[in-house]
Amino acid sequence: MGVRLSLINFTELFYQHATREPKIINDIAESSEKDRQEFNRLIYTTYSGDLLSNLPSCECGEVVGGYNVGVVCKSCGYEVRAHVERDLEPIVWIRAPKGVSALINPIVWMMLKKKFTRSGYEIIRWICDTNYAPPVRKPQVVYRLEELNCPRGLNNFVEKFDQIMAMLMDLKEYRKSEEHQELMVAINNQRDCVFSEYLPLPNRALLVIEESNVGTYVDPIITGAVDAIRMMAGIDSSLTSHSVRTKENRTVKTISQLSEFYEGLYKTTLAKKQGIFRKHVFGSRSHFSFRAVISSLTDAHDYEEIHIPWGIGLSVFRIHLMNKLMRRGYTPNEGIAFLNAHASIYNEELDQLFQELIAECPYKGIPSIMQRNPSLERGSAQLVYITQVKSVVEIPTVSISILDVKGLNADFDGDQLNFTPCLDTYTTEELRALSPHKSTFGLDQPKKVSSNLAQPKPVIATTANFLHDTDETVDQAKWDRMMMLAEAA
């Protein structure tokens, strides 16, 4: 089954948290200094000083201390918990203001904005916001929409969404665009997630302001999100009175700014090279995997086999080895001590256990995926088999066949490869397509040998097969011919 991204139905998400009292920003008005401070505490986090507190607290920070763990705060309605145990759940929500039909998912808004913006002019924003007047030239698309009497305003966009999108897609600029057609298919398949009654605001843990003796530091992408939240604050309270048209335009501006915040968050905080994804997901090592410098196999070998170092074998198969040791009568502590003592010292019993592991495998060795980042060429990920754990503990390299390096774009001058052993036969069979010989033929021309695979020259291959022939009865004429080839080479 494939894995794909999907939108979230925020209305369903809101009612899933019905056990807690959500904060609706529409009803919160900043009528006094105390209200303003309470409002700020709900939407962002302020740090002062060089140290961050790790004391358990509620979401708003009013109830603090380990002795209060489990106590429910009367202000925010959340129980006191340690910071590391608290989920980043939405605390504050936006409700569709009175008179406004629905809210638009900020991710959908981002998608529509990117696809329908012409020369810096946001077509979707022009349709939804009657006050939209950017300092750029109005494109011809807008003039044609005016001629077609395209209904404007957020309520019209929500209620006549299909009609408006059909009108847009019928224009010559978008009619034959394959990417616009694909966008509409994706939106129609998840139509229940496009509009919602409620939208969550970013958790206050994501909006951080740092105060110090030399000034206040704020991430630039935060200001837009805070401004968007303030724009909706108290919009439905009894202290304010706005027309429906004003509420529509303010709601559109809020959704637009929230989408810009999420887009900026993805590009900077999450997805950039120093971002959270690389630090905590892509940059972390998977379980039962290892990375090492490669060297060549010089003895007779199968091109799919690899030999791994002693220390790596002990580390990656630690659980398997512990299981075998405990079956031999070791206690858990004794088994751990035994493995730790021989991490860099050869031991005959441990060597025997490695050989047992390999012999028990139903394949020629323990199947593993060999990969070199960041290449995406054919052969940059190959299915190989661990047939030996090196008994010479001083050798720290993984030995592989010279025939496998071309697809990996590697050589033996210090290049490192990633290895991930397959822990079951199902995974191994699914990964058969990554076997090195699967890259033999090219994809563009039938029966043409791929350039992503190295093959030995015929003379070398023939000589090698002859020298390792186990047949005891050798024809003398064949022997003479092979010796002549060896001498000529």
Q: Residue 128: its pLDDT value, please?
A: 95
Please indicate, yes or no, if residue 371 is contained in any of the structural domains. Answer: yes
Query: Is residue 1 scored above 50 in pLDDT?
Result: no
Quick one: 214 and 75 in the same domain?
A: yes
Long-range CB pairs of 38-42 (<8 Å, 24+ gap) are: 38/75, 39/233, 41/204, 42/76, 42/91, 42/92, 42/204
Q: Residue 110: its pLDDT value, please?
A: 93
Quick one: 462 and 319 in the same domain?
A: no
Q: How many C-beta neighbours within 10 Å does residue 291 have?
A: 14
Q: How far apart are CA 208 and CA 216, in angstroms?
A: 11
Please indicate, yes or no, if residue 110 is contained in any of the structural domains. Answer: no
Q: Residue 2: its pLDDT value, please?
A: 44
- The most confident of the ranges 56-60, 267-271, 353-357 is 353-357
Q: Which amino acid is at 141?
A: V
Please indicate, yes or no, if residue 126 is contained in any of the structural domains. Answer: no
Q: Residue 471: its pLDDT value, please?
A: 57
Quick one: 383 and 324 in the same domain?
A: yes
Nearest-CA neighbor of 418 among 264, 270, 306, 272?
306
Q: Residue 310: its pLDDT value, please?
A: 95
Q: Residue 43: its pLDDT value, please?
A: 74
Query: Is residue 55 scored above 50 in pLDDT?
Result: yes
Quick one: 28 and 76 in the same domain?
A: yes
Higher pLDDT, 294 or 60: 294
Please indicate, yes or no, if residue 255 is contained in any of the structural domains. Answer: no
User: Per residue in 163-201, pLDDT tens?
Assistant: 999 999 998 888 888 888 888 998 999 999 999 999 988
Please indicate, yes or no, if residue 55 is contained in any of the structural domains. Answer: yes
Per-position b or e across 402-441, b if 16+ CB within 10 A of its CB: ebbbbbbebeeeeeebbbbbbeeeeebeebeebebeebee
pTM for this prediction: 0.62
Query: Is residue 364 scored above 60 in pLDDT?
Result: yes
Please indicate, yes or no, if residue 476 is contained in any of the structural domains. Answer: yes
Residues 6+ apart with CB under 8 A from 382: 369, 370, 371, 404, 407, 408, 434, 435, 436
**DSSP labels, 309-333:** -HHHHHHHTHHHHHHHHHHTT--HH
Strand boundaries in 130-267, DSSP class E: 195-196, 198-200, 208-212, 215-218
Q: How far apart are CA 342 and CA 292, in angstroms?
A: 20
Higher pLDDT, 2 or 397: 397
- The most confident of the ranges 39-43, 323-327, 450-454 is 323-327
Quick one: 64 and 204 in the same domain?
A: yes
Angle at 254 between CA 205 and CA 223, to 5 degrees: 45
Quick one: 435 and 474 in the same domain?
A: no
Which residue carries 């629905």 as its tokens?
102
Quick one: 371 and 342 in the same domain?
A: yes
Please indicate, yes or no, if residue 259 is contained in any of the structural domains. Answer: no
Beta bridge partners of 305: 385
Structural domain for 479, as ranges: 458-488
Answer yes or no: are the C-beta atoms of 404 and 370 closer than 8 Å: yes
Mean of all residue pLDDT scores within the chain: 83
Quick one: 299 and 434 in the same domain?
A: yes
Query: Is residue 19 scored above 70 in pLDDT?
Result: no
**Number of domains comprising the chain:** 3
Quick one: 435 and 468 in the same domain?
A: no
Percent of the chain residues past pLDDT 70, beyond the cut: 84
Quick one: 304 and 406 in the same domain?
A: yes
Please indicate, yes or no, if residue 252 is contained in any of the structural domains. Answer: no
